[in-house]
């Protein structure tokens, strides 16, 4: 074991030189294991005037730690409020609420030495295993005292950077909450924090907290059990723990035997990036299972680390001592029983077709124990935990616009929330054919056209500044956009193309590059996609690219609008695929910004074609043909009539158009019932019947 005096002298030397150290990169799964040293280097490079004050605070906290008085001031359980800021760009980094809760559970399990694998600590260190007696609770009130889930979600491209600028997007007072930012790219690390001394005082307070890559946050969702101890490791740094080999990001160096972490019961080590439990790198057995090593088999903190962390948690350095006060626990809502204050839920989609399902996921807070749902269609669902009422699918079997109500309770209180017009269920063939949309006054806005703006930052809108014909068209103000790969969607409702033999989709657009030279070219994209199953699967049928055929006029460095018909282009898509010849056909126009100029869209015309004879037969026969039940669980029956005797063909396809079965029958003239067995896998399928009359019909078949 190491002497207290030697540990103290070592710290003073390291504290004076640490900010000048350039962190070496050590990776695991392609990610730097911990970015603390690099983060501190960058902090003092940006703010060199704060270096001396940080060093003074570090010395003061070290002296406080070695004296040991602060850690014994309170022997009770320390509770620290924690808030998560999920910085995302609508990708997988927008982790679920469940994953955040899991991350807090893993953190507390590790800090209280309650992890299931604690028994795997090797005998030589089992007597040193420490319950830190610090618990982290997700905030239940925001800084203004309002009820809050303890999770903020911010849309920003800075999720791909994960640096100090990202922190500036949102930070709650560091003397009331431990701030954790979750992002896609944590500045090249799995995670990073800053020592209390480095953020002491007001100048660096805005950098206080922990940054985590989303795949290292918790043990579920985008993360896994193997990576789940990263937050534990970073909170250790936040509470003034070093790596076992000293104050660097350089494990594995022989010189590390001369370095120290200023904890008396953690043996000197060169540091590990693998789990070698009998390692003796500096003349004694290494504590490879320590959470602060890079071995990725962390199981424990030591008693000495407990003293060090509790000293930091009760020190005035970086205002850590204010977090666990009774008044702050009350102010942040974590002092007593959970506060049931909000009934809330997510839906995976709000626009569907008859027979489709919506996934509802409860997001209520805090800690409800009962749930009661009303879906506006006469159906209801209620129950308790583990009874399938917190996350489930509900099927809507009739068209309409539905309000959804959720009531949650905890045995004492209840709260209710109704989302009006929560789900719009489209019927088959809602739009009349042929469809002609020129976006003129009286034609648009049209409730059967739908706009989706995922980033809520400006999207398709009407303008009278230009038009291919008439006086109005749709456009996106792309010239001032600074978010690359931003997608915006314009979609139709359903059109009945069953019985048609061909579909024509024509449209016009106008676009130019933003600039004056070839060097200013951008690869913005206008995509046209179609679906025959209401939108469960969209198939790209045409893409116009900025590098090829999207530009319709010369580049322009200013916000641009076409000046006449000569600055517009047009195109017609022709489809004859069976999977699109259904009563749930839809069209989607998608613009993906690559930071070019404005985009304009006009004169959309959609029409189904078939010969007159077929159309008459369709009116007389197939309009009365039925597929029932639909949705179905085991089987359905196609009921139909034929005018002449001959062969009839029944084809079943999946939503992608892959043929699952084909059957032919010789039938006489008259009425017929044709039973069909449901596929084993629930989903959406296409059923097509063709008869000797020369007519056919395709149904969208929902299997539950």
Q: Which residues are catalytic?
A: 234
Strand-pair partners of 502? 609
Residue 100, classed as helix, strand or coil, is helix
- Return d(Cα 696, Cα 274) in angstroms, integer: 65
CA dihedral (35, 38, 44, 46) positive or negative:
negative
Which 3 state secondary structure label does DSSP give 540? strand
CA proximity to 312, closest of 230, 206, 238, 242: 238
Helix (H, G, I), strand (E, B) or coil at 595: coil
> What would the DSSP string read from start to end of 325-344?
SHHHHHHTT-SSS----B--
Signed CA dihedral, 360, 151, 331, 314: sign only? positive
Can you tell me the distance from the alpha carbon of 556 to that of 554, in angstroms, rounded to the nearest whole number?
6
Q: 585 - beta bridge partners?
A: 495
Q: 494 near 507, Cβ under 8 Å? A: no
Helical pair 4-17 and 51-67, crossing angle rounded to 10 deg:
170
Q: Which of 206, 203, 165 is nearest to 183 (CA)?
A: 165
Question: Computed from CA positions of residues 638, 641, 645, 649, in that sequence, does the dihedral angle turn out positive or negative?
Answer: negative
- Paired strand residues for 642: 670
Sign of CA dihedral 165, 166, 167, 169: positive
Alpha-carbon distance of 634 to 679, in angstroms, equals: 8
Q: Are 422 and 404 in contact (CB under 8 A)?
A: yes
Q: Strand 78-88 relative to strand 151-155: parallel, antiparallel, unpaired? A: parallel
């Amino acid at each position: 074991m190491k002497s207290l005096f030697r540990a103290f002298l070592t710290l003073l030397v390291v504290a004076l030189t640490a900010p000048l150290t350039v962190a070496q990169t050590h990776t695991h799964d392609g990610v730097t294991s911990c970015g603390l040293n690099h983060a501190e280097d960058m902090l003092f490079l940006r703010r060199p005037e704060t270096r001396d004050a940080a060093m003074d605070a570090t010395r003061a906290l070290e002296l406080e730690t070695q004296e040991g008085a602060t850690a014994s001031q309170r022997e009770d359980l320390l509770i620290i409020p924690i808030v998560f800021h999920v910085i995302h760009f609508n990708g997988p980094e927008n982790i679920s609420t469940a994953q955040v809760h899991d991350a807090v559970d893993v953190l507390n399990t590790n800090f209280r030495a309650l992890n299931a694998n604690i028994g795997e600590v090797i005998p030589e260190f089992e007597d040193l295993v420490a319950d830190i007696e610090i618990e982290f609770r997700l905030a239940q009130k925001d800084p203004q005292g309002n009820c809050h889930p303890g999770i903020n979600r911010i849309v920003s491209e800075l999720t791909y950077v994960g640096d100090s600028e990202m922190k500036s997007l949102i930070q709650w007072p560091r003397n009331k909450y431990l701030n954790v930012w979750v992002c896609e790219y944590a500045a090249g690390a799995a995670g990073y924090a800053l020592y209390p001394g480095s953020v002491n005082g007001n100048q660096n307070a805005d950098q206080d907290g922990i940054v985590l890559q989303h795949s290292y946050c918790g043990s579920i969702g985008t993360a896994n059990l193997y990576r789940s101890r990263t937050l534990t490791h970073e909170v250790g740094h936040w509470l003034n723990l070093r790596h076992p080999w000293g104050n660097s990001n350089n494990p594995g160096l022989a010189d590390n035997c001369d370095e120290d972490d200023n904890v008396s019961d953690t043996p000197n080590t060169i540091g590990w990036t693998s789990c070698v439990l009998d390692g003796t790198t500096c003349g004694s057995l290494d504590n490879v299972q320590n959470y602060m090593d890079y071995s990725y088999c962390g199981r424990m903190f030591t008693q000495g680390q407990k003293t060090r962390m509790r000293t930091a948690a009760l020190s005035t350095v970086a205002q850590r001592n204010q977090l666990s006060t009774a008044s702050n626990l009350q102010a942040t809502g974590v002092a007593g029983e959970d506060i049931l204050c909000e009934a809330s839920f997510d839906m995976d989609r709000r626009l569907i077709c008859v027979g489709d399902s919506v996934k509802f996921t409860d997001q209520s807070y805090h800690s409800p124990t009962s749930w009661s749902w009303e879906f506006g269609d006469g159906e209801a669902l209620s129950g308790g935990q583990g009874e399938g009422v917190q996350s489930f699918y509900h099927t809507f079997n009739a068209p309409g616009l539905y309000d959804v109500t959720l009531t949650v309770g905890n045995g004492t209180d209840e709260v209710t929330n109704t989302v009006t017009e929560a789900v719009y269920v489209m019927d088959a063939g809602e739009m009349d054919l042929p469809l002609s949309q020129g976006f003129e006054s009286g034609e648009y806005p049209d409730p059967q056209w739908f706009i989706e703006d995922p980033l809520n930052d400006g999207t398709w809108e009407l303008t009278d500044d230009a038009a291919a014909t008439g006086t109005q068209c749709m456009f996106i103000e792309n010239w001032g956009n600074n978010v690359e790969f931003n997608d915006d969607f314009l979609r139709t409702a359903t059109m009945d193309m069953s019985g048609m033999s061909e579909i024509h989709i024509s449209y016009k657009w106008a676009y130019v590059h933003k600039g004056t030279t070839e060097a200013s070219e951008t690869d913005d994209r206008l995509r046209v996609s179609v679906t025959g199953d209401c939108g469960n699967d969209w198939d790209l049928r045409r893409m116009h690219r900025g590098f090829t055929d999207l530009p319709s006029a010369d580049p322009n460095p200013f916000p641009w609008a076409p000046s006449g018909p000569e600055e517009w282009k047009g195109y017609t898509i022709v489809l004859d695929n069976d999977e699109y010849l259904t009563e749930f056909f839809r069209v989607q126009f998608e613009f993906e910004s690559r930071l070019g100029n404005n985009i304009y869209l006009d004169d959309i015309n959609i029409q189904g074609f078939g010969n007159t004879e077929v159309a008459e037969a369709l009116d007389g026969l197939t309009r009365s043909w039925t597929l029932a039940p639909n949705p179905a669980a085991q089987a359905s029956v196609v009921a139909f009539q034929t005018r002449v005797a001959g062969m009839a063909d029944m084809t079943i396809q999946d939503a992608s158009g892959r043929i699952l079965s084909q059957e032919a029958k010789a039938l006489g003239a008259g009425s017929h019932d044709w039973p069909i067995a449901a596929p084993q896998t629930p989903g959406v399928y296409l059923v097509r019947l063709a008869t000797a009359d020369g007519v056919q019909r395709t149904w969208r078949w929902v299997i539950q």
